[in-house]
Amino acid sequence: MNARTKIIAGNWKMNKTVAEARSLVCELQGRLATFSGCDVVLCPPFTALASVAKLLESTPRIQLGAQNLHPAPKGAFTGEISASMLSDVGCRFVIVGHSERRRYFGETDAFLRDKLLAAVSAGLHPIFCVGEELADREAGRWPDHLRSQLQAVLHDLPPSILMEVVLAYEPVWAIGTGRTATPEQAQEAHAFLRQELERLHGNSVATGLRLQYGGSVTPENAREILAQPDVDGLLVGGASLEAGSFASIVLSVE
C-alpha cells in the first residue's frame, strides 16, 4: 500500500475569535476553490469549531480538526472536551501530544496513549506529534528520543488503530522559532520514524502511515520539505493564521 495522499494541517493554537476564524476560512475557501491536490485540515480553537464546521460543509475537502481532547468519554473533568464531543461538532482529526501540551501541561506518554485510543474509538484521526528538544538534536540523541516517544505510545497497538494515525515530526527547536529543519534533516528523521514503525509494526504500517513535518514551515520552505520522499505533509502553526500564506503552502503540493 502506498497511497499516502499529502496532508497539510493548520494548527491555529490559541488564536482567532469566531469572527476572525470565519473570515480566515472564507478567504481560504476562495483561494483553494479549484485545488484538490491534497487533504487539508484546519484546527481552530474549541470556541470556533462549530462555526468553522458549518462553513466547511460547502467544501468537504477541507476538514476540521481539534487541538486537544480528554481521554475520558464524559464526566467530572471541568474544562475538558471528549473525543465524542469533537466528532459530534464535525471534527475528523485531533492533535495529540503537541510539544506545547507536553511542556506546559505536563502531558505524559501514558496520558497521550489514552487520548490517542479515545480519539480512534470516536472515529477521529489523531495527529500524533513527536520531536526532540534542541539539546537532544545537538548531542545527536534525536533518534533515541524519537524511538522512545514512539514506543511509549504506540508500542503494542494493532494496525487497525495505527492506520488511523497521522504521525507528525515536530522538532521542538523548530516550533515557532523560525529555525526550520533542513529538508535533509526532515527526511532523515522521517526515514528513521518509518524504519522504527517497520521494526515495531511491520511493513504495511510503516509504508502506509502518513508522516507530517512541523516547525516553522513557510510558503518559502514548504515545497522543498514536501519533496522529500518520506514527508507526506505538513503541520503548520504561525503560517496557517493568514489565508495567503497557508493557501500558498497548500498549493505547493505538487
Give the active site residues.
98, 170
Q: Residue 15 or 59: which CB sits closer to ligand PGA?
A: 15
Q: Residue 44 or 237: which CB sits closer to ligand PGA?
A: 237
Grid coordinates of 16: 482567532
Interface of this chain with ligand PGA, residues 232 to 251, rule: CB under 6 A? 235-239
Residues near ligand PGA (CB under 6 A), total? 13
Q: Does 132 bind ligand PGA (CB under 6 A)?
A: no
- Close Cβ partners of 181 (under 8 Å, ≥ 6 residues apart): 171, 174, 189, 213, 215, 225
Interface of this chain with ligand PGA, residues 19 to 58, rule: CB under 6 A? none
Q: Residue 175 or 186: which CB sits closer to ligand PGA?
A: 175
* Minimal CB distance residue for ligand PGA: 237
Grid coordinates of 42: 484546519
Q: Residue 30 or 176: which CB sits closer to ligand PGA?
A: 176
Q: Of 65, 171, 215, 233, which one interacts with ligand PGA (CB under 6 A)?
A: 215
Interaction mask 154-173, ligand PGA, x per CB under 6 A:
----------------x---
Q: Of 6, 7, 8, 11, which one interacts with ligand PGA (CB under 6 A)?
A: 11
Interaction mask 170-199, ligand PGA, x per CB under 6 A:
x----xx-----------------------
DSSP string, the chain: ------EEEEE--S---HHHHHHHHHHHHHHTTT--SSEEEEE--HHHHHHHHHHHTT-TTEEEEES--BSSSSSS-TT--BHHHHHHHT--EEEES-HHHHHHS---HHHHHHHHHHHHHTT-EEEEEE---HHHHHTT-HHHHHHHHHHHHHTT--HHHHTT-EEEE--GGGTTTS-PPPHHHHHHHHHHHHHHHHHHH-HHHHHHSEEEEESS--TTTHHHHHTSTT--EEEESGGGSSHHHHHHHHTT--
Q: Residue 67 or 228: which CB sits closer to ligand PGA?
A: 67
**In the complex, least distance from residue 107 CB atom to ligand PGA, rounded to whole angstroms:** 15
Q: Of 214, 232, 243, 249, which one interacts with ligand PGA (CB under 6 A)?
A: 214
List contacts with ligand PGA (CB under 6 A).
11, 170, 175-176, 214-217, 235-239
